A and B are shown apart, each in its own frame.
Chain A
Amino acid sequence: MPFIPHTPEDVREMLERIGAPDTDALFDEIPAGLRTAALQEIPPALSEMEIGRLMSARAAADGRRLNFIGAGAYEHHVPAAVWAIVTRGEFYSAYTPYQAEASQGTLQLLYEYQSMMASLTGMAASNASLYDGATALAEACLMAVRAHRKSKSQRILVPASVNPTYRQVLQAIAGNQNLAFDLLPYDATGGHTTVASLEKYRGADITALVIQQPNFFGTLEDVDALTDWAHAAGMLVIAVVNPTSLAILKPPGEWGSKGADIVCGEGQPLGVPLSSGGPYFGFMTTRLEHVRQMPGRIVGRTVDLDGKQGFTLTLQAREQHIRRSKATSNICTNQGLLVTAATIYMSLVGPHGLAQVASACMERSAELVDALTRVRGVRLAFDRPRFHEAVLLLDRPVRGVLEALAARDIVGGVDISTQYPALGNALLVCATETRTGEDVATYARVLSEIMQNAAAA
């Protein structure tokens, strides 16, 4: 039996020590009527060689294509050293660091991670991560409700330019706890959220405003004006940010005159491959005054009995603590392996390297937009500055175009027409530092052929 070391001799000796005639007797407390028959629906066991072949065949069938999708998960170069270290058994097969003395490797790494994320986002305190960006936003909203002393409404303003799947997850997770979400429209020309759209909430009891930067369209929001307006109106500000962009964009801790209150986002761009959707990790940082309201694990530096520096999980009492008047969370895990990757990644690229990556992303995506909008039937939706994504409007349904591109080994972007019907035939495209000028030219050429072959809608 794979992974089971027992020889028949072992089994005999063990049964003797237990005083049971056979292993079946060990299950004699289970009513006979409940015992399962053979699991016919499960296929017979495969050796490692056989499963390896099967998996390789399926992977080969899927193949690889030139990727131009972002939409919350971004393709970046992941240095070879990252996963070579992450998959070391001491990191890979270690448990949650509850026995701190036996987990100083993981704990110190998490402390370093917290330090990096706090600085990257311009805030004082970070947790050791949450499941992903979408759930991090849900947790941030629940946290805002707990942290806001005066607001009782549990109402959160969420721009429509925030990732639509994130908004769905918000509803699924926080909707059960009497949080209400008001949708803010985006500006038709710029694709951004305007202060004007907030005016109707002046004087109302609103707990928090969510600002995503860059937003789902790739557009850069007017974060200073929005933050200051929200604070003047007595709301907390929840920032949802892209960590790569923070190497060159003003971090949420410096938005407006006071800075954002809670920061969250998807950490996948930092050293985690696309991996068909997961596992990723969510990050969360905040002001020192709110640290006790922050969900998730937190690692603290302390000393041991000899006065030597050491690290341990801290503020654990919050995890089961239910503040009477406010909403609650049961999240207490962290995405350890992914955070390990992110920490090693950030150490390898450093501040200068990350800025280079971010700049290259901006540059390449600008080239992409330039090249694609030269194709007949393709135009740019919004006229404001962007990070590394853009919305293009096509003269025909996007779906058919994407299928044609896929047939030519190009994954051209995401069709967002259903989620944003007011835009028309809308395609969200992205180019990171992993796309070369040649890749961009290929995309433009193939798209041009596709657009010419079929008639416009």
Chain B
Amino acid sequence: MQEKLIFEHSRPGRSAEAQYPSATAAAQVPEALRRRTPPRLPEVSELQAVRHYTRLSRLNFSIDTHFYPLGSCTMKYNPRACNQYAMLPEFLARHPLAPESTGQGIMQCLYELQEMLKAVTGMQGVSLTPMAGAQGEFAGVAMIRAYHKARLDFARTEIIVPDAAHGTNPATATMCGCTVKEIPSLPNGDIDLNALHAAVGPQTAGIMLTNPSTLGVFERRIGEVAAIVHAAGGLLYYDGANLNAILGKVRPGDMGFDVIHMNLHKTFSTPHGGGGPGSGAVGVGERLLPFLPLPLVGFDGQRYRWLGEKDLPQSIGRLSAFAGNTGVLLRAYVYMRMLGREGMHRVSEFATLNANYLMAGLAAAGFELAYPGRRAGHEFIVTLRREAREYGTTAMDFAKRLLDFGFHAPTTYFPLLVPECLLIEPTETESKEELDAFVAAMVAIREEAQTDAGKLKGAPWTLPVRRLDDVRAAKHLDIAWVPA
């Protein structure tokens, strides 16, 4: 059954009358600036709108309804308390530019969040303002550039990136006016130290890494990596996408990283919301403190206040109109307070337990691991290249068939280094039974691949739509409804 577009429910003159002011004097807009034809917004009753969007919501998979083992995305439970307390009426009603005296409560929450994030990451300063992981990355690389420029070291314009890195890393480097140098990973997943030695020099601004890496394994010689890069005059940037693997066990600051970005919508459980809003808070070591993006919350022992350009004249500047995604920050704050000291350690412990258990289960069931000799961090990679060879099925086929079994597919085709791969991250909030059920589903799907591959190739069968024609979508662009 197909849902109509909201526009197809419209009838001229219909509206939700309770929701807007009644007759006012005609606006005194100057003739030349007046709008002539009304915008094509829906004309529906309140119930029609509510019914339509409620029905749409039911077409989605979500963490609340499905196991979502998306590697690198950390789809853990989004506690409802975080939403409830972030949306207290006083917080919702407050204008960001209202006097500080009227916001000491919320500023205390933000300040304490800064302090807690410093503590768990081992960094000296935190800015909460970047509004997404990509913006956090931008801030991080911009701070590295600003640091070198401040020391008049203008030659340092190259950022080193492992070949397994996520695509945003090199894109961010380029956005900051840097060039990118890729170095290879070894077959066991670690960085090639020889290649690193050869790559560093007076042109090195820094290296962008994540640990555990995108291959799901811990870079054991991170100390050496840090020493090599620092000795050459470069800085270390930590991509916090995989922080869930080490939260409370290892701190990026202790590993030698000079700057990190965190994904509060991953590690700290703020909602993914169908694509956002995220939050990419950044943390820095001593060297980069002067360059943090503004504003920060400061505390003088008695009052909280916003730190601005006068306090940090060397800041890389402002990345948003106000102070970042404040509502998201409050949710992260509530989450961290509910985890507390003990809970912070348990996150990575149980995330890693779940990942290793799931990995063991899939291996025992005969699936091929990409890095069989290694412990999983919070995620691991399965390669379906054997199945591809034997049955002609792809990782995408498995992913689509998993949807029919009631599981959101893991991340597919990333990292690019591993063919036909699934990057699987269960997170710590999933039960053993859920993991067992996932293994059972994968086994069942592989059996289907063996006997009737068409079942995979044509999947999904049971969702609101079958596989969609991407090529047609791009070729015959239809990105806005217009009336017939």
Contact = CB atoms under 8 A, between A and B. Distances in A.
Contact of B95 (A75, A134, A366): A75
A359 B317 contact: no
A111 B479 contact: yes
B104 A172 contact: no
15 contacts: A23-B350, A34-B223, A48-B338, A77-B20, A94-B272, A105-B57, A128-B275, A224-B32, A247-B38, A276-B94, A278-B277, A328-B174, A338-B273, A351-B38, A352-B43
Instruction: Give the interface centre of B35, B83, B122, B464 by most chain A CB atoms within 10 Å.
Output: B35
B26 interface: yes
A131 interface: yes
A46 interface: yes
A291 to B, nearest CB: 7
A23 B353 contact: yes
Given A14-B357, A102-B61, A132-B131, A220 B33 contact: yes
Contacts of A96: 272, 274-276
A430 to B, nearest CB: 10
Interface stretch (A119-127, A374-382, A447-455): A119-127
Nearest to B48: A347
What range describes how many residues of B lie at the interface? 35 or more
Given A79-B16, A359-B24, A411-B98, A3 B104 contact: no
Contacts of A266: 321
Nearest to B323: A277
A330 interface: yes
A89 B119 CA distance: 31
B290 interface: no
B249 interface: yes
B142 A300 contact: no
Contacts of A13: 432
Nearest to B221: A31
Given A3-B76, A95-B272, A337-B274, A246 B35 contact: yes
Interface string B49-82: 1101110111111111110101001011111010
A72 interface: yes
Contacts of B14: 350
Interface residues of A, number: 194
A370 interface: no
B285 interface: no
A248 B332 CA distance: 39
Contacts of B53: 85, 109, 340, 343-344, 347
A444 interface: no
A46 B319 CA distance: 33
Interface in A85-105: 85, 87-97, 99-105
A97 B62 CA distance: 10
A279 B277 contact: yes
Contacts of A220: 29-30, 33
A251 B361 CA distance: 58
Interface in A309-366: 309-312, 314-315, 317, 320, 322, 328-338, 340, 343-344, 346-360, 362-363, 366
B103 A62 contact: yes
Given A46-B340, A62-B106, A362-B29, A11 B353 contact: yes
Given A104-B464, A314-B479, A336-B273, A92 B83 contact: yes
Interface stretch (B133-141, B197-205, B387-395, B444-452): B133-141
Interface string A261-281: 000001000000111111111
